[in-house]
Each structure stands twice: as C-alpha cells, then as structure tokens.
A and B are shown apart, each in its own frame.
Chain A
Amino acid sequence: MIEVISAGFQTTVQDCGRIGLRKFGITPGGALDPISLRLANLLVRNLEWTAGLECVSGRLRLRFHDERLMAWSGGEFEIRVGGNLVPILHCARVSIDADVEILPQRGGRAWLAISGGINVPEILGSRATDLRAHFGGWEGRALRDGDELPLGMESESCARVRDEIPDHVSDWSAPRFIGPGKILRIIRGKNWDDDIGAKLLAQKFRVAMNSDRMGLRLEGEEIAPASRRELVSEAVTPGTIQLPPSGAPVVLLQGCQTIGGYPKIAHVITVDLGYAAQLQPLHEVRFQLIELGEARELLREREREIALFRAGLEARFG
C-alpha cells in the first residue's frame, strides 16, 4: 500500500486508457504521455499498460508500506527515494516505510510506475482516472492527502532485479526520447488550407491558462477560418488541432472528447504528443509540418526502440 502524505497538484492514477469505447463517447484517456508510462512500467517489470501515477507540478510525498521497485519518466523533476536521487528512467528500490518525494523543477508532467501497479478497480476495461466524467482511478478524482492506494502483485522477476541493484538505483536505464524542443510536428488535417497552414506555421503560440488534460488552448495572432460554414460533428482524436471561430487553435490531448464540430486544420503527430503533454501555461510553442508517411515511420521507429529495450530486459531478467 502507498500512503499519500502530500498529494501534489493534480496527481491521478493512469494507465494506457480505455480502448474501443469511443462509440459510447468514452475517451481513451489514460496517461497524457503513454510512452513515458510504458517505459517506466517496463523498468519495474510491469506489463506496459499497468496503472501508475501521473504527477503535475506540485510537491508530492508518498510513503511506501511495501517493498517495491519504482521508476519514472516525463518532464524535469527531482525525485528522491529515502533521500536518494532517482534519475529519470532508472529503476529504484524502495524499502518498507521509505518516503518518495517528487519535486517539480521546471516541471511539466511525470509518470511514476511501481512494481505491481496501482491496484484500483478496473472500470470499463481500465484503471485510468477520467477526471471529466468522474470515474476510474482512485474514486474518479485526483489524489488527496491521506489516500491509501492498494498495490498489485509484483512480477516474479522483480526479485532478480533487486539482486542486481546493489545500492539504491539501477546502473541500467531505459532509452530517453528527447523532443525537438518547443516544436510540435504536425501533419495536415482534412480542413487544412494553405492560408490557414501558413498562419499556423509562421508564428509562436502561447499556451493559455485554461489548458488542461483535454487540450492545449493556444494564444497568438488570430487565424481567420477559411469559411464561416459550420461542419457536422465527427470524430476527433488526441493530437487533432481544432480551429474554433474565435481563431485560437486548440490542440487536443489524451483526455479529449471523442467528437468535435470545429474544423480540423492539422494533427500533432503521435510521437510528439508526449512533448505536448509537457507544455504548461505561458510556454511558447511552434509547429513544423511533415508528411503523413514520415509521421507513421517515426511512430514505427519509436515502437521498434521500445521493443528492443523490452527484449533487452527480458534477456537479462527473464
């Protein structure tokens, strides 16, 4: 069990989300950067889609009442186990009654995986917290001080991993995927046109204060929609850049709605969604246009690298 001593700002239980339920209006949701959560899970020998914690700026303190392995990935954070620093994407031993402290540096978001995972009830096929619909995760809400999170069973290979961590932290680590800075790569959307595209690519946008897990609302020089013709509502997906009549684009994130009616001018490519998840209000961001084939190739390449890491761990720890 993990005791939440200090819950931070908006810490939630997240896994890789709900699959195949869009037709009921249920968003896939889950970790805003699923790749970070998957890598952290691999490090502690969990299945990749096991539930962990998504931490947002704010100091978080957890007390472990079981001996476990822990790993994290995401933005710029200082994370300590019993006072010892745990570098990003390394595996740490957490002893019984040790405290884990999560201190945002330049912050963003971080994903924490614990061997065995957070064992909250599975609802509609996932343990992810849907904050908008108030279900899943821990009581359908962000964590509060005093919450006690049950943990699942560790995989057998955790014992072997512990044997190979003589000190506090592993000397091996997962691959770290560094983004192209505050640039998000995009592909054209079905309502793209060259005038809108030129305005989207020419400027730096500022992330607005009212951005959340559903989407980043951007501020900049207004982009006039090509026509005032309203569209019928249809599917949208994480990464979709919608252009409401206000002229301020919205980049949808993993917690987004399933259907939208605003023009879809472009889409942030899947491998860059993790970088989008690190953007905070007042940050600046630019877009760079690439082709669909390249976006899919980048995703294939990313999955290949994760598969290689997974195979390496399996070869070493079984």
Chain B
Amino acid sequence: MKIDALGDSALIINLADEISDSSRLLARVLSAAEKIEGAKLPGVVDVTSSYESVAVFFNPPQIEPQIEDKIRALIASAGVRVSGKKRRVEIPVCYDEEFALDLDRVANQTSLTPDAIVALHSSAEYTVVCIGFMPGFPFLAGLPQQLRVPRLESPRTKVSAGSVAIANAQAGVYPLESPGGWNVLGRTPLQLFRVNESPPMLLRPGDCVRFRKITRDEFQAYER
C-alpha cells in the first residue's frame, strides 16, 4: 500500500504492490473503496477507485489528524471482495472509415490489418474497471495484447459522442463529445450517459462488456 497526496485535499492509495493479478487487484480496489466510503470518516466528501488505486477526497479543515492511519487500517481490513454474478452488456460498434479516425494509424503501429484489429477488438471480453474522465465513460480492462498503442501525442480538442477508443492496455467509449487523447476505432449508437434516467449510467464497475460489429445501416437504425 502506497499513499500519496493528491493535492492538499485528497489522498491516492495505490494497491498494486499487493497483488499482481489484475482482476484480483480490481476486486481488492473495489472492496477497499467500499470500505472507506462505508466508514463515513469526518470531512471525507468523495471516494473513487480506478485500476490500481483508491482516491479519497476531503475538506482539510474537517479531517482528523490521523486520517492516513485510519484509511490504512480500513484498507487492510477490507480484504478482497468475492464478486457476485457479473452483469453482461453488449455494445454495438460501427467500425466504418467515417468513425474509425485512428484505425489506419493503429494498423501501421501494430502491423495488423484494419480488419484484424476490428476482429480482435470485437472478440475480446472486457471488464469495467471504473467510470471516470467524464460522465459515464467506462475504463475497460481486457484489451488484447496486440492492440496496445500509446495515447495521441497531443489530445484532440473534440472527439464525437459514442466514439469507441483504445490507449495502451485500456479500452473505452466516449459517452459525450469531449476532448480526448485515445485512438478512435469506431462509434456506438448507444447512449452511455442519460442524465434524466435513473441510474444515468449504462455501465458500472465490475460489468462484463463485449463489442459487436454492426454495419452503417444498423447504426442508423439504432439512431432512429
């Protein structure tokens, strides 16, 4: 367990030194986050988790001086949650040229054909590690090794809503138009974030996700 300050009003606790297996590490991280959230420590306003770490946000004037020790003890006692039945969600993706802004470049970088990239991307099984970056954006683990390419050198100022993208070992979907630095392979017609629905998110951490290739016509049928 390694604790670092995340600015003056948060701590970030990395648990990667405990477990090397990534799915067990995710279970460990999720159980640690749940434990801290459940403890309702004074001054703590938010708790989040990602691949290897838990972040705890607080109002410094309201916290106890020993908050770091308390968090350490809570995480130590959290154990590894045994995951229950996973929800399975299928996400349709159109990989047509119009949407696949970076497919050719990823093909060059990986020495794979665009068809092979699509086949690999849509045959893998992914796990939602966390929702973050923007409302409803799923960070997915499970990207095939052959598809690992770095983020863009400089992020795009505009990536369209529904863009399905990869970066390093990660896969994701942009629920809304936004700036972004990931490699875009296609687009889904599904809305991952709908503010007026309850819950507003299509996905949640721990969900199992697959991408299914659809044609341009099918994409348009969804949009209607």
Spell out A's residues near B (CB within 8 Å).
19-28, 123-124, 130, 132-135, 187-190, 210, 214, 230, 232-240, 244-246, 257-261, 264, 267-270, 292, 295-296, 299-300, 303-304
Contacts and interface: CB of A to CB of B under 8 A. Distances in A.
B100 interface: no
A196 B60 CA distance: 27
Given A124-B200, A234-B55, A237-B57, A24 B135 contact: yes
A272 B64 CA distance: 23
A133 B6 CA distance: 25
Given A234-B51, A257-B132, 7 more contacts: A23-B47, A23-B130, A27-B135, A133-B193, A190-B4, A230-B151, A270-B60
Interface string B117-154: 00000000000001111111101000000000011011
Contacts of B23: none
A287 B136 CA distance: 34
A300 B60 contact: yes
The 6 closest A-B pairs by CB, nearest first: A259-B132, A235-B55, A267-B7, A295-B8, A190-B4, A135-B195
Contacts of A28: 46
Residue in B4, B7, B47, B150 with the greatest tally of chain A CB atoms within 10 Å: B7
Contacts of A132: 134, 176, 178
B132 A240 contact: no
B48 interface: yes
Contacts of A134: 176
A235 B8 contact: no
A258 B132 CA distance: 6
B153 A261 contact: no
B11 to A, nearest CB: 10
A152 B98 CA distance: 47
B176 A270 contact: no
Given A22-B57, A24-B135, A234 B50 contact: yes
Given A24-B201, A210-B157, A303-B61, A233 B8 contact: no
Given A234-B50, A235-B10, A292 B132 contact: no
Interface of B: 4-10, 12, 33, 45-53, 55, 57, 60-61, 130-137, 139, 150-151, 153-155, 157, 167-170, 176, 178-179, 181, 193, 195, 199-201, 205
Contacts of B47: 23
Contacts of A246: 153-154
B6 A300 contact: no
A25 B179 CA distance: 15
Contact of B46 (A20, A188, A190, A268): A20
Contact of B134 (A257, A270, A300): A257
Nearest to A264: B6
Nearest to A232: B51
Contacts of A20: 45-46
B139 A299 contact: no
Given A20-B45, A233-B170, A257 B61 contact: no
Contacts of A123: 195
Contact of A190 (B12, B153, B169): B12
B6 A240 contact: yes
Nearest to A188: B5
Contacts of B132: 22-23, 25, 233, 235, 257-259
A133 B134 contact: yes
A124 B135 CA distance: 12
Contact of A237 (B4, B10, B60, B135): B10
